[in-house]
Amino acid sequence: MEQFEKGLVSIIIPVFNRETLLPETLDSILDQTYDQWECIIVDDGSTDTSLEVARTYASKDSRFKVHQRPWYKRKGANSCRNYGFKLSNGEFIQWFDSDDIMNENYLGVVTNLLSTSNKEMIVVSANLFHLNSGDFKLRNLYKQLLESPNPAFAYLFKDAWFQTSQVIVKRKFIVEEANYFDIHLSRNQEAEYFTRLMLNGAQIKCYTDKPLIILKIHDNSIGGIYSSVSDASKKRKDYFAYFKMFENFKNAGALEKEVLSEFQYFFTGCLRKMRQFNKQYMHLFFYGIYLGFFKDKKIATKIFLSRILNILF
């Protein structure tokens, strides 16, 4: 049976080219009133001074542990997260992003909630901070999660969204259910991961008294880059994660009528807007017909053929 240190929080941070933002993130961890933590930083091959910044913090406080992603492991934040988890020792796992900030009381609040409840996950409210404009926006949309008989569905389709840094999970649940990040996804990996946790039985407790995390949005953030691309590109980036989530819902027996309808709406939008004549588009159509992505196979076939014919003629 896997051993862990009771009460210890393992904060796992993948890092790639964050030299200007990383210090504020690490300072917020240093400022925590709860001091039983380790921070495992996994550098993903940064070409700036991010690795040196991380090592500077490790030289001052041994709770910071700096590693580089091994060359033989797939590049990407998901691979770094999984590698960091294997190196961790904590009872609680805090996935965290290298540009976000914790309120000084964050770890104290969430560890108390996890220790005094039978829930596997704690989700906290957050403020979205747009670096360019300086605007703050509260993200506190968890009523749907608590009231829904299918919280994975509410999270994915009913505006109950939360991000990686807002969640802390009991280590035992991750190990028992083999709940690791999918290293093949580069977009919506947190959506696939958290819906999978919920579909596998993770119970959620939400802390909404006040925001305890600041999520930064900027031109070089994943959200910032995503918002700047075309709708067709967004569909292309999102497709494989939604394909995986469709399979997860189906395998869990959670593909109810309303859930299926939302997936069908998404996949039909992909069929209308994604680029034709590539492997992804063909995968969408033929798997969609086979698995039931579309409400009406005849209409889907008509859309597919008309788009192909428009290209040919």
10-residue stretch averages of pLDDT, the chain, 313 residues long: 85 97 98 98 98 98 98 95 96 96 97 93 89 62 70 88 93 84 90 94 88 84 53 79 95 94 92 80 89 89 82 59
Same domain, 87 and 46: yes
260 phi and psi angles, rounded to 5 deg:
-60, -40
- Could you read off the pLDDT of 143-161 as tens digits, one per residue? 667 667 888 999 999 878 8
Same domain, 213 and 68: yes
Q: Calculate the CA 74 to chain-centre distance.
A: 18
Same domain, 288 and 219: no
The pLDDT value recorded for residue 307 is 79
The pLDDT value recorded for residue 281 is 85
The pLDDT value recorded for residue 226 is 47
Same domain, 97 and 185: yes
Last residue of a domain, one of 207, 226, 245: 226
Same domain, 260 and 136: no
The pLDDT value recorded for residue 138 is 60
The total of structural domains in the chain comes to 2
The pLDDT value recorded for residue 224 is 47
DSSP secondary structure string, the chain?
----EEEEEEEEEEESS-TTTHHHHHHHHHT-S---EEEEEEE---SSSHHHHHHHHHHH-TTEEEEE--TTSPPSHHHHHHHHHHH--EEEEEE--TT-EE-TTHHHHHHHHHHTSS-SEEEE-EEEEETTT--EEEE---HHHHH-S-HHHHHHHSS----GGGEEEEHHHHHHTT----TT-SSSHHHHHHHHHHHTT--EEEE-SS--EEEEE-TTSHHHHHHTS-HHHHHHHHHHHHHHHHHHHHHTT---HHHHHHHHHHHHHHHHHS-SSSHHHHHHHHHHHHHT-SS-HHHHHHHHHHHHHHHH-
Same domain, 175 and 241: no
Same domain, 35 and 167: yes
Same domain, 213 and 262: no
CB count, 10 Å around CB of 218? Answer: 14
**Which residues are CB-neighbours of 141 under 8 A, at least 6 positions away?**
159, 160, 161, 162
CB-CB contact of 104 with 28 (8 Å) = yes
How many degrees, rounded to 5, is the angle at CA 180 between CA 178 and CA 184? 125
Last residue of a domain, one of 198, 226, 254: 226
The pLDDT value recorded for residue 266 is 92
Same domain, 123 and 40: yes
**Which residues are CB-neighbours of 167 under 8 A, at least 6 positions away?**
94, 95, 121, 122, 123, 194
Domain membership of residue 291 as a residue range? 229-312
> What is the C-alpha separation between 255 and 246, in angstroms, rounded?
8
Q: Is the sign of the CA dihedral 71, 69, 170, 243 positive or negative?
A: negative
Last residue of a domain, one of 197, 226, 255: 226
Name beta bridge partners: 129.
136, 216
**Which residues are CB-neighbours of 259 under 8 A, at least 6 positions away?**
150, 153, 157, 249
How many degrees, rounded to 5, is the angle at CA 172 between CA 166 and CA 175? 95
The pLDDT value recorded for residue 228 is 53
Instruction: Take residue 277 and report the two structure tokens written for it.
Output: 């004549």
Same domain, 81 and 104: yes
pTM above 0.75, yes or no: yes
The pLDDT value recorded for residue 235 is 81
The pLDDT value recorded for residue 132 is 64
Same domain, 235 and 213: no
The pLDDT value recorded for residue 71 is 94
CB-CB contact of 238 with 274 (8 Å) = no
